[in-house]
Structure 1
Amino acid sequence: MTNDFPHGVVHEAGEDLQTALLASPEVYALWKGLTPLGRNEFICWVEDAKQAKTRERRIERAVEELLEGKKRPCCWVGCIHRTDKAPSRWQQAVLIDGKAKSGA
């Protein structure tokens, strides 16, 4: 993939996501128009998929949402990997504590 591909602030887009975004000049222009934080949210959402089919669906949906004018993935609580801000209460309760409980 291209070295100048715009990634997020924490996450880098995988090759499959990059390929999907680069497949359409319109979609790629929308991607480049996002803030690094916006790109980061889409990448984190895709990377969070546990199964390959879910990842594929999220990549397809990311393209659709960009074409719909969305700046962040719909129904995504946000990246918990950022170190520049504390996780919200909701992220803490559902994503962080929930994962700790399910892994116990």
Structure 2
Amino acid sequence: MADVFLHGTVHEARDDLQAAIRSEPSVLLLWEGLTPLGRNEFICWVDDAKQSATRQRRIARTREELLEGKKRPCCWAGCIHRTDKAPSRWQQAVLIDRKSKTSPAS
């Protein structure tokens, strides 16, 4: 049972995030104390990184924020992949902004 890693409600943590969280018992304990939604937010935030360097910074920041007592990633609009609720206005604005940046110019 010690090898079971707790994931989020929608997302599963990849090996690199799992390794970083498991590398320090106090961080793992804090991770396990989060709600499934809290874990989901951290995983989504890390997975949203476009570049490997950004992903690694977010993994490091996840560990730091857990040690700071945070239950969700700082400055994150929230997971847009959840199907149990509609996206908030903030999330909708982010989605619209992303679409306009990736759409070809007319």
The two structures have a TM-score, normalised by structure 2, of: 0.93
Q: How does 1:73-92 map to 2 (within 5 A)?
A: 73-92=73-92
Gaps of 5+ in 1: none
Gaps of 5+ in 2: none
Larger Rg: 2
Q: CA separation in 2, counterparts of 1:69 and 1:3?
A: 24
Q: CA separation in 2, counterparts of 1:102 and 1:47?
A: 19
CA apart distance, 1:99: 1.4
Q: CA separation in 2, counterparts of 1:10 and 1:52?
A: 22
Identity, % of aligned positions: 68
Q: CA separation in 2, counterparts of 1:75 and 1:89?
A: 15
Runs of 4+ in 1 over 4 A off after TM superposition: none
Alignment partner, residue 99 of structure 1: 98
Q: How many residues are aligned here?
A: 102
Q: CA separation in 1, counterparts of 2:54 and 2:65?
A: 16
Q: CA separation in 2, counterparts of 1:103 and 1:53?
A: 22
Superposition RMSD in Å: 1.1
CA apart distance, 1:3: 5.8
Q: CA separation in 1, counterparts of 2:93 and 2:22?
A: 36
Note the alpha carbon deviations across 1:80-101, whole angstroms, 9 max, x for none: 000000000111012x111111
Q: Which letter does structure 2 place at the counterpart of 1:90?
A: W
CA apart distance, 1:13: 0.3
The two structures have a TM-score, normalised by structure 1, of: 0.95
Alignment partner, residue 72 of structure 1: 72
SS in 2 for 1:26: helix
